[in-house]
C-alpha cells in the first residue's frame, strides 16, 4: 500500500459532447500505445519472418515501384533521382493510407478490450498513428540511406533548408488529419462488416493512382489536371516535397480543396464517430 496520502478519484458519468473527448483521450493515453502495438503486431503475426515484415513491406513497395515507374516507364522527376523522389512521396502516402486503413480496422481489432471495458474509442483510432508512424520511421531510415548513397555517388545532398521547410510538417499534418477524419466515418461500420475495410483498401489503391505519388503533377495531362488538383491529398504531397526538396508546386485550388475537405471530413468524422460511440456505449 502506498505510503503517500492516496489520491481520491472521482468517478462520474461520461459527459456527452465532442470537446470533452480530448481531455478524456489524454486521461486514457496509455491505451493509444496499447492499441497501436496490437495493430502493429497484426503486420507480422503468424509469419515466419516476424517483425522483419515491418521494414520489408516499404522496402518491397519502393523497390518494385521505383523499378516500374522510374526504370521501365522512365518518369522524369527533374534533378532529383526518381528513387529518392518516390521514397519521399511514398513515405507521405503510406502515412496517409496506413492511418486510414488501420484507423478503419482499429475498432475491429480493439473490440476484445472495448467490449469488456469503457475506453474512449478515439484512443483505439489514434492507435493507427503508431503503426503509420512506425512505417514512416522505416521510410526516414531509407531516405537517410538513399541521401547518403546519392551524396557519395552524385556529390549532392538534394535537401533544401529554408522557410519552405515548414511546408513538410504542414503536409504531414494535413495528410494525417484527413486520413483520421475518413477513418472516423469508416471505423464504426468496419466493426460490423468486413466489406468496409475491403472497400477502403481498394479505394486507397485507386486513390493512389489519382494522386501525384508515382508521378509529378507536371506530368498530368491538362484535361485531367483539375481532377488531380482537386484531390485533397495532392496538396499534402506537394507541400511535403516542397519542404524537403524545395521542389514542388502547390496550386491554390489544391490547397483550398485540401483545407476545405479536411475541415469537413475531420469535423463531420468526429461528430459521426462520437455519435456511434454514444450509441455503442452501455449497449448490451
| Residues engaged in binding other proteins (CB under 8 A) | 1-2, 6-14, 30-31, 34, 37-38, 41, 45-46, 111-113, 115-118, 188-189, 191-194, 276, 279-284
Report yes or no: 176 and 96 within 8 Å, Cβ to Cβ: yes
Q: What is the largest CA-CA distance in the chain?
A: 73
Q: Could you tell me the three cell numbers for 164?
A: 519552405
All three cell numbers of 178, joined, read 484527413
- Rounded distance between C-alpha atoms, residue 42 and residue 102, angstroms: 10
Least separation in angstroms between CB 35 and other proteins: 11
Task: Report the candidate in 64, 60, 65, 34 with the shortest Cα–Cα distance to residue 49.
Answer: 60
Q: Based on CB atoms, which residue is closest to other proteins, 13 or 17?
A: 13
Nearer to other proteins, 13 or 162 (CB): 13
Cβ 172 to other proteins, closest distance in Å?
28
Task: Report the nearest approach of other proteins to the CB of residue 33 (Å).
Answer: 8
- Kindly tell me which of 192 and 219 has the beta carbon lying closer to other proteins: 192
Q: Which is nearer to other proteins, 87 or 114 (CB)?
A: 114
Q: Residue 132 has which C-alpha cell?
A: 503509420
Q: How far is the CB of 103 from other proteins (least distance, A)?
A: 17
Least distance to other proteins, CB of residue 5, Å: 9
Residue for grid cell 521542389: 247
Rounded to a whole number of angstroms, the CA Rg of the chain reads 21
Query: What is the secondary structure of 125-145 as a DSSP string?
Result: HHTHHHHHHHHHHHHHHHHHH
Report residue 97 CA to chain centroid gap: 5
* Cβ proximity to other proteins, 11 vs 19, nearer residue: 11
Amino acid at each position: 500500500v502506498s505510503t503517500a496520502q492516496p489520491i481520491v478519484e472521482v468517478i462520474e458519468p461520461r459527459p456527452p459532447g465532442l470537446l470533452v473527448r480530448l481531455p478524456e483521450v489524454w486521461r486514457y493515453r496509455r491505451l493509444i500505445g496499447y492499441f497501436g502495438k496490437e495493430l502493429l503486431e497484426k503486420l507480422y503475426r503468424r509469419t515466419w519472418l516476424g517483425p522483419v515484415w515491418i521494414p520489408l513491406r516499404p522496402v518491397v513497395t519502393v523497390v518494385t515501384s521505383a523499378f516500374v515507374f522510374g526504370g521501365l516507364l522512365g518518369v522524369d522527376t527533374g534533378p532529383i533521382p526518381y528513387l529518392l523522389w518516390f521514397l519521399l512521396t511514398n513515405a507521405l502516402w503510406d502515412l496517409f493510407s496506413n492511418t486510414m486503413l488501420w484507423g478503419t480496422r482499429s475498432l475491429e481489432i480493439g473490440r476484445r478490450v472495448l467490449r469488456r471495458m469503457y475506453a474512449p474509442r478515439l484512443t483505439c483510432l489514434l492507435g493507427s498513428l503508431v503503426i503509420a508512424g512506425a512505417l514512416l520511421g522505416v521510410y526516414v531510415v531509407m531516405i537517410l540511406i538513399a541521401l547518403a548513397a546519392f551524396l557519395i555517388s552524385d556529390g549532392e545532398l538534394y535537401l533544401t533548408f529554408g522557410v519552405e521547410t515548414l511546408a513538410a510538417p504542414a503536409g504531414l499534418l494535413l495528410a494525417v488529419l484527413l486520413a483520421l477524419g475518413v477513418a472516423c466515418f469508416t471505423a464504426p461500420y468496419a466493426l460490423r462488416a468486413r466489406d468496409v475495410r475491403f472497400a477502403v483498401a481498394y479505394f486507397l489503391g485507386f486513390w493512389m493512382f489519382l494522386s501525384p505519388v508515382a508521378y509529378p503533377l507536371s506530368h498530368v495531362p491538362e484535361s485531367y489536371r483539375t481532377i488531380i488538383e482537386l484531390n485533397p491529398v495532392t496538396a499534402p504531397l506537394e507541400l511535403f516535397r516542397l519542404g524537403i526538396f524545395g521542389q514542388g508546386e502547390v496550386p491554390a485550388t489544391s490547397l483550398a480543396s485540401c483545407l476545405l475537405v479536411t475541415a469537413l471530413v475531420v469535423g463531420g468524422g468526429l461528430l459521426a464517430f462520437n455519435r456511434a460511440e454514444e450509441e455503442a456505449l452501455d449497449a448490451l
